[in-house]
Each structure stands twice: as structure tokens, then as C-alpha cells.
């Protein structure tokens, strides 16, 4: 089961409707991806780096691409 399906099932079980789930899902997935970036780098991110990660993920880059951008 993938992350999105797991989150959807958990939110449905908690009583959230399809509209609430659909509007919250992109944000929740970006939060999880941002955490993946932090784990890949092995350290906490500065405020500037967190903003960079947020923008890059919103633009559609994947975790590996964002990590490469931060390692340069």
C-alpha cells in the first residue's frame, strides 16, 4: 500500500469526507517529502533551506532532485 492510499484510508476512518481528504492530501504529501529530504541530508534544515525545499516540491521536483540541489 502506498503512502497516499494509507493516508486516505486513515482519514476516511477518522471521519473525513472526500473533499477534505482531496484538499489536504497534496500538502500532507509535500510535508512527508520534505521530511524525506531532511533524512537524506542527515541533518536539520535551516529556515532558508526549508523554504527552498517547500518551493522545489511545490514545483514538482522529487526528493532526489531537491537533495542534489542542497548538496551543491
Letter string b/e over residues 21-40, b meaning 16 or more CB atoms within 10 A of that residue's CB: beeeeeeeeeeebbebbbee
pLDDT for the residue 30: 92
pLDDT for the residue 72: 77
Low-confidence spans in the chain with pLDDT less than 70: 1
User: Assign residue 42 a region: left if phi > 0, alpha if psi is -120 to 50, beta otherwise?
Assistant: left
Amino acid at each position: 500500500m502506498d503512502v497516499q492510499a494509507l493516508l486516505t484510508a486513515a482519514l476516511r476512518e477518522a471521519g473525513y469526507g472526500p473533499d477534505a481528504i482531496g484538499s489536504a492530501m497534496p500538502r500532507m504529501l509535500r510535508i512527508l517529502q520534505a521530511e524525506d529530504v531532511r533524512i537524506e541530508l542527515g541533518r536539520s534544515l535551516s529556515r532558508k533551506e526549508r523554504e527552498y525545499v517547500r518551493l522545489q516540491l511545490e514545483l514538482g521536483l522529487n526528493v532526489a532532485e531537491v537533495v542534489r540541489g542542497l548538496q551543491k
